[in-house]
């Protein structure tokens, strides 16, 4: 039966992803028609009745307590991000949610000053839906040097990192392990959706990406939750070649977050980033010379 609520959909998907042996359930060699745990097996592990769990999964009950949710999270081997998402979607299901478009996100003056002083560190400011609200020159050059550097200042033209990762061939080519980056983007959006079920703009973004990218649709349906505070990626930059960066998200509450990219000391990646810094300095205020130089260097 198809789940009738975000909570039920999440529980059903996670249950189907766990094998009995993952949680110590003996099967005695029996052949099972479907993969994953059965409802009654999960209910037993969580200490609830099978009928009550079935109602939760089918969206017929919205009364799960925090204790029951924690028990289900434990039985499903959820990490802290997944547990938090479970509580968020359960809370949303208990409320009458009216879709609304939140107030426009803005970058504070102190944050802009922070970007300016981080001249040798690629940095950008992301809104909760992964809109690029601002970037410094090196952040623009590293993550999206083929785009207009002034686009984040025009709300109607702001790049969106989720769109770029899935729909922009230039950004896709930046990541040597693109699926890992893509899963991180989807997992982060899942967390945001759990906290903001009323955000119609977020729903529209998910719908657009699902329609335009089968890969996004499959990853979204997988219900993987991933908090991406710190992640390391190998990048293939068109101007300076291969480099490995650690992307860190610096957040202070629910507002926009600053994302910075750093490299290991005395590494070839640090040298490549220094070359990119020099190229940005030579290019001046316009990004066009940087893009032209990139094409020339590629032969």
pLDDT tens figures, 140-180: 999 999 999 999 999 889 999 999 999 999 999 999 999 99
Average pLDDT over residues 65-70: 92
Task: Please determine, looking at this structure, whether the domain spanning 109-297 carries the CATH number 3.30.450.180.
Answer: yes
Cα dihedral 61→62→66→69 (10° resolution): 60
What digits encode the pLDDT tens for the residues 79-108?
988 998 999 888 877 665 555 566 778 898
Residue ranges covered by each domain of the chain: 6-93, 109-297
Alpha carbons 225 and 253: distance in angstroms, whole number = 19
Q: 230-237 and 241-250: which strand pairing? A: antiparallel
Q: What are the angstrom distances between the C-alpha of 142 and each of 49, 114, 155, 280?
A: 53, 18, 21, 10
Tell me what pLDDT residue 160 has.
97
Q: Which residue has the higher pLDDT, 295 or 181?
A: 181
Which fold does the domain 6-93 belong to in CATH? Answer: 434 Repressor (Amino-terminal Domain) (1.10.260)
């Amino acid at each position: 039966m198809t789940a009738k609520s975000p909570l039920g959909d999440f529980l059903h998907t996670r249950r189907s992803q766990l094998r009995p042996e993952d949680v110590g359930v003996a099967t005695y060699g029996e052949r099972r028609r479907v993969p994953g745990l059965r409802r009654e097996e999960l209910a037993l592990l969580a200490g609830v009745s099978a009928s009550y769990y079935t109602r939760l999964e089918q969206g017929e009950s919205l009364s799960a307590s925090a204790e029951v949710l924690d028990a289900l999270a434990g039985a499903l081997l959820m990490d802290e991000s997944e547990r938090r998402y479970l509580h968020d979607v359960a809370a949303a299901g208990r409320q009458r949610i009216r879709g609304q478009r939140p107030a426009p996100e803005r970058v504070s003056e102190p944050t802009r000053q922070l970007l300016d002083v981080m001249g040798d560190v690629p940095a950008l400011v992301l809104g909760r839906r992964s809109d690029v609200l601002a970037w410094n020159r090196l952040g623009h050059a590293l993550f999206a040097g083929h785009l207009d550097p002034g686009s984040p200042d025009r709300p109607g033209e702001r790049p969106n990192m989720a769109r770029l990762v899935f729909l922009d061939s230039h950004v896709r080519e930046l990541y040597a392990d693109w699926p890992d980056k893509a899963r991180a983007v989807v997992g982060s959006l899942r967390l945001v959706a759990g906290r903001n079920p009323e955000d119609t703009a977020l729903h529209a973004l998910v719908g657009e990406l699902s329609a335009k990218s089968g890969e996004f649709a499959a990853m979204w349906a997988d219900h993987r939750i991933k908090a991406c505070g710190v992640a390391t990626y190998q990048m293939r930059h068109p101007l300076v070649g291969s480099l490995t960066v650690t992307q860190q998200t610096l957040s202070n509450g629910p507002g926009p977050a600053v994302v910075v990219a750093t490299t290991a000391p005395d590494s070839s990646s640090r040298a490549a980033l220094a070359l990119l810094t020099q190229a940005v300095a030579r290019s001046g205020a316009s990004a066009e010379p940087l893009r032209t130089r990139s094409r020339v260097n590629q032969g």
